[in-house]
Amino acid sequence: MEENTVSDVTAPETDRGWESVDDVSWTLLDLDELVDAYWAVVAPVMETDGLDPNREKPTHSWLRDHGFRPLLYALREYHDRTFAEFWREDLEIDTVESGYDWATDHERTIEALESFLTSRRERKGLADSSIDTLRYRLNRYVTAYYEENDTGDLVTPVARDGDIPAYKAVDACWTAFDRLHADIDGGQTKRRIHLAVSNWYAHLVRRKWAAVNPADGLDDEFDWSNGNDDDTDTPCLATEHVRALYKAADGQEDRLLVLALCAWGLRPNEVASLRARQFVLDVSTDEIPYITFEERKNGPGEVSLLYGKEVLEDRLAMFSDCEDWDGYLFPSPHASRGPISRWTVWNRFTQLAERAGLPDEIGGVSPSPKMGRRFWYDAYSSSLDVVLESLDEIAAEQGSASADVVMQNYLSDSRARKLRREYMRDQLAAAFEES
């Protein structure tokens, strides 16, 4: 195989303006472009550190420490690839590599993980495919643990002969699951990851490697029922479904509920507990009103309010003269103060779906609030495709290879975001505005 060299690949890429990690929009690149960016940006930094980019695979720690975490994220979330797979299959570096690409370089932790998998294979008789799935779930936890606790050593905190208090080991484990809880929509996925992790720690306890299982009982701390989270395979509402729901909403409160689910993409529990102080409406002309979430740990802290501001303002005005109002947009109708529950959101949505004449099943599943959130995600992701299509003419005029090139090299992040929001607003208008 012809060997790649940094000088061979970086020179043609200077037109992209890739001089440092901050210049690269990793999540907007396809695999071929990620390869180019790797040789243009990552490889020179490796050389500076005395590493041979043509022979040596940088570790996860090295990549994180040098600001290349977005590359790992883009590979995992947008291309379903580990860095090892990218390094082997896309960079095609001719170096023999063995072993799984764990998200840690700590040898004792890797040994403990592999010991558990070997035991499951040899003593439980699990098939290779099941071992691969188990390994993937454990690695999701290792990744979250590293990112939250800034260490890949998962063994020392629970070691029998260690001097770290048990509560600190529990805190580190729970913090990692806080991150997984925020990053992963599917309740079933979270439960399966927790089961794998708890079984791994229990294995270490039985082997006398660990004194405590910090994941024990953690499932009692979270509500990972199917009704609480948005599974990634949940069908989404179609535009006509959202339009029917909104028309069936015969009051201000119901209209706001549909908007919060479908136009703002909120979870049922987030809708139930919405408060006036979360809304930032007084913004400059060039800015978008937004909703703040202080407790959305490790997730987006703000949600853009692209549609439905007028209905929201009417709702706020209705409470403006109420002296005993505690700020909740959906106050409980009972005597006790506070908001409605997430289950009330589910019940009201179900009643709306019946009045709107929605099908008994959508994609084989009964209509539920989380389908509104999926509608929002589907609409927003498709808006990027629309923007790219609109740039085709510009690409032709500029002699660029594609609209993607124009998007990446000639549009600022703020301009690209503005275009996506404009198309997103059009899609929401199509769903909510009455004919």
119-147 tens-digit pLDDT: 998 888 887 767 877 888 899 999 999 98
Do residues 299 and 175 both lie within one domain? no
The string of DSSP codes covering 99-115 is S---S---HHHHHHHHH
In this structure, is residue 252 part of a structural domain? yes
Quick one: which H or E segment has residue 356? helix 342-356
In this structure, is residue 228 part of a structural domain? no
Do residues 245 and 280 both lie within one domain? yes
What strand order describes the sheet that includes 279-280?
A: 279-280, 290-292, 302-304
Highest mean pLDDT among 169-183, 387-401, 417-431: 169-183
End-to-end CA distance of the chain: 62
pLDDT score recorded for residue 389: 56
In this structure, is residue 14 part of a structural domain? no
pLDDT score recorded for residue 7: 35
Q: How far, in Å, are 191, 232, 267 from residue 187 at the CA level?
A: 6, 9, 13
Which residues are paired to 362 by β-bridges? 365
Last residue of a domain, one of 220, 255, 286: 220
Do residues 391 and 273 both lie within one domain? yes
In this structure, is residue 365 part of a structural domain? yes
As a whole number, mean pLDDT of residues 351-377 equals 88
Lowest mean pLDDT among 152-161, 264-273, 359-368: 359-368
As a whole number, mean pLDDT of residues 207-224 equals 88
Do residues 208 and 80 both lie within one domain? no
In this structure, is residue 96 part of a structural domain? no
Distance CA(236)–CA(425), nearest Å, equals 18
Do residues 49 and 115 both lie within one domain? no
pLDDT score recorded for residue 207: 92
**Helix, strand, coil shares, percent, the chain, to 5:** 60, 5, 40
Do residues 147 and 267 both lie within one domain? no
Do residues 37 and 153 both lie within one domain? no
Q: How big is the CA angle at 182 (ends 27 and 25), to the nearest 5 degrees?
A: 10
Do residues 363 and 400 both lie within one domain? yes
What lies within 8 Å, CB to CB, of 137 at 6+ separation is 192, 193, 196, 197
In this structure, is residue 377 part of a structural domain? yes
Do residues 67 and 152 both lie within one domain? no
- Is the pTM above the cut of 0.85? no
> Which amino acid is residue 116, in one-letter code?
F
* DSSP code for 328: B
Do residues 131 and 155 both lie within one domain? yes
Distance CA(176)–CA(50), nearest Å, equals 33
Q: Is 284 exposed, middle or buried (0-12, 13-18, 19+ CB in 10 A)?
A: exposed
Q: Is 79 exposed, middle or buried (0-12, 13-18, 19+ CB in 10 A)?
A: middle
Q: How far, in Å, are 61, 390, 401, 408, 412 from residue 395 at the CA level?
A: 39, 10, 7, 12, 16
Do residues 209 and 272 both lie within one domain? no
In this structure, is residue 416 part of a structural domain? yes
φ, ψ of residue 331 to 5 degrees: the values are -70, 150
Output the six-digit token pair for 140: 């999701």
- CATH code of the domain containing 241: 1.10.443.10
Output the six-digit token pair for 368: 């539920």
Distance CA(295)–CA(392), nearest Å, equals 41
Which residue's entry shows tokens 């020392």?
156
- pLDDT of 297 higher than 50: no
Q: How far, in Å, are 199, 289, 366, 427 from residue 274 at the CA level?
A: 37, 15, 25, 24
CA neighbor of 73 nearest in space, from 39, 28, 35: 28
Distance CA(159)–CA(82), nearest Å, equals 29
Total domain count, the chain: 3
| 434 band by pLDDT with thresholds 50, 70 and 90 | low
- Determine the structural domain holding residue 60 and report its residue range: 31-90
In this structure, is residue 13 part of a structural domain? no
- pLDDT of 188 higher than 80: no
Q: At what angle do helices 128-149 and 166-183 cross, to 10 degrees?
A: 110
As a whole number, mean pLDDT of residues 28-33 equals 83
Last residue of a domain, one of 220, 251, 280: 220
Do residues 149 and 293 both lie within one domain? no
